[in-house]
Amino acid sequence: MNDSLVTARNLRTGIVGAALTVAGILLSGPLGLLLVSAVQSSGPWQGPAAYVQNYHPIQTLPFFCGFLLVSGYVVLMTALHQIAEERLKTQTLIAVVFTAIFATLIFFNYITQTTFVPALAKNYSPQLDPAITTFSLANPLSLSWAIEMWGYAFLGVATMLAAPVFNRNRVERATAVLMILNGVMSIAGGVISAWDLGWVLT
């Protein structure tokens, strides 16, 4: 296949990935959280029994939409590797690997929030308290928050590594700066969480 056709196809794939990412960010972030707040939020963490009492299926919506976000990043970063200059290929391949680590961790988290935690809430008994406490993202000290923050830290490494692909014009260079800033902030979030996990919901 002609190189220009391959490049065009990879660019289209990257655009699809970027669109999925933006849609996922909006739907799992402000729009999803706004809808959850309008219907029934879980409120501040007061223990597993209170969480179950305030549980509503709508609370899983942002996490279902999060699958779009994660999938978008996987598609986008793979496309960036394909269109990268030869001198950047090793760097962008490492970025794809870090994106895969991110996707594995965050997919696990969102499967937990959309499937496992709701099942615990629907079939609640006091014996399930430790599992709800450990896995619910309503609890700022849950294992799931540690996974979430470090998952996005690994994505931050990936965006920093992939940033040099954007180097052809002012808009692309601005995009590269934003990707680097995203990386710095995401890695900082993971490190701060290791120091004080509870800060995530403060």
**Domain layout of the chain by residue ranges:** 3-201
Going by the DSSP 8-state scheme, the letter that residue 19 receives in this structure is: H
Confidence of residue 201 (pLDDT cuts 50, 70, 90): confident
Distance of CA 91 to the CA centre of its chain: 21
The answer to whether residues 118 and 60 touch, using CB atoms and an 8 Å cutoff, is: yes
Residue 202 has pLDDT above 60, yes or no: yes
CA 139 – CA 116 distance, rounded (Å): 15
Q: Two tokens at 13?
A: 């794939």
Question: How many other C-beta atoms can be found within 10 angstroms of the C-beta atom of residue 36?
Answer: 17
- List CB contacts of 82: < 8 A, sequence separation 6 or more: 6, 10, 13
- List CB contacts of 150: < 8 A, sequence separation 6 or more: 105, 190, 193
Q: What is the pLDDT of residue 4?
A: 78
CA 17 – CA 132 distance, rounded (Å): 33
| pLDDT tens column, 87-112 | 999 999 999 999 999 999 999 999 99
Residue 1 has pLDDT above 70, yes or no: no
CA 26 – CA 153 distance, rounded (Å): 20
Give me the sign of the Cα torsion angle 133, 136, 141, 145: positive
CA 68 – CA 70 distance, rounded (Å): 6
Residue 7 has pLDDT above 90, yes or no: no
| pLDDT tens column, 49-98 | 999 999 999 999 999 999 999 999 999 999 999 999 999 999 999 999 99
Pick the residue with more confidence: 51 or 200?
51
Confidence of residue 164 (pLDDT cuts 50, 70, 90): very high
| pLDDT tens column, 135-160 | 999 999 999 999 999 999 999 999 99
